[in-house]
Amino acid sequence: MRKQNQEGRVATLDLSLPKKEFESIASNLIRSSDILVTQLGQQLDKNFQDHILLQLLFVILNISILILILYLVVRMLRPIFALTKVTSEIKKGDLDESIKQKGNDELSALSESFNSMIGSIKKLYQKTE
């Protein structure tokens, strides 16, 4: 039997194969497709597991970055909060307050200047009494 396909080529269908041989070829074809489907399913499962693992790593990375940012912000703001607290105490008249200096940055220099200023004010106040 001859059939013409879409490209205009003539395909020949061999109907002279015995039924047993035809069933054997069909069985092999079905077995091959089952193996292919099984392998594709296994690959899909592996890809899905890899995707979940990658998402989990990104979540852990994001949480780690957020914790690091929070730590750095608190670390940077701590001297400012201390300066604000001591300033409030000085405003109330307690000239015995001072700021503990840590590090060698701008806030440390500001703390040193503030402590020096409070010391000068305290000396002037003691002289006037």
Nearest to 66 by CA among 58, 77, 76: 58
What range defines the domain where residue 43 resides? Answer: 18-128
CATH number of the domain to which 111 belongs = 1.10.287
Give the pLDDT confidence of 88-106 residue by residue, as tens digits: 988 888 888 888 877 788 8
pLDDT at res. 48: 94
Report if residue 99 sits inside a domain: yes
| pLDDT at residue 118 tops 70 | yes
| pLDDT at residue 16 tops 80 | no
Report if residue 92 sits inside a domain: yes
Report if residue 7 sits inside a domain: no
Residue 77 host element (H or E):
helix 19-91
For residue 94, give both structure tokens: 């307690």
Band (2; pLDDT cuts 50, 70, 90): very low
| pLDDT at residue 7 tops 60 | no
Band (14; pLDDT cuts 50, 70, 90): low
pTM above 0.75, yes or no: no
Report if residue 27 sits inside a domain: yes
Report if residue 85 sits inside a domain: yes
How many domains are contained in the chain?
1
Residue 82 makes CB contacts below 8 A (sequence gap 6+) with 99, 100, 111
Report if residue 30 sits inside a domain: yes
Helix axes 19-91, 106-128, angle to 10 degrees: 20
Give the pLDDT confidence of 21-31 residue by residue, as tens digits: 888 888 899 99
Report if residue 90 sits inside a domain: yes
Report if residue 66 sits inside a domain: yes
| pLDDT at residue 10 tops 80 | no
Give the pLDDT confidence of 39-91 residue by residue, as tens digits: 999 999 999 999 999 999 999 999 999 999 999 999 888 888 888 888 898 88
